[in-house]
Amino acid sequence: MNFWQVIKKEKKGEPILCLAPMADVTDRAFRRIIAKYGKPDAVWTEFVSADGLFLGGGEALSNDLAFSESERPIVAQFFTSRPEMMRKAATLARELGFDGVDINMGCPDKSVEKQNAGARLMQNPKLAQEIILAAKVGAKNLPVSVKTRIGWNGNEIETWLPALLETDPTVVTIHARTRKEMSDAPARWEFVKRAVEIRDEHRKKVGEKNCRTLIFGNGDVASVADARQKARETGCDGVMIGRAVFGNPWFFSGHIPTLEEKLRVLDEHAKLFSEIVEPKPPAGQGKSFAVMKKHFKAYVSGFDGAKDLRLKLMEAENADEVHEIIFDRLKTIHNSH
End-to-end CA distance of the chain: 54
* Segment (H or E) for 157: helix 157-165
CA dist 119 and 49 (Å) reads 14
Distance set, CA 150 to CA 58, 136, 176, 336 (Å): 32, 23, 6, 51
CA dist 84 and 186 (Å) reads 36
Q: Which of 18, 107, 211, 236 is catalytic?
A: 107
CB neighbour class for 271 (10 Å; exposed up to 12, middle 13-18, buried from 19): middle
107 is catalytic: yes
Q: Is the separation of the CB atoms in 96 and 72 below 8 Å?
A: no
CA dist 318 and 278 (Å) reads 10
CA dist 123 and 202 (Å) reads 21
Which residues form the catalytic set? 107
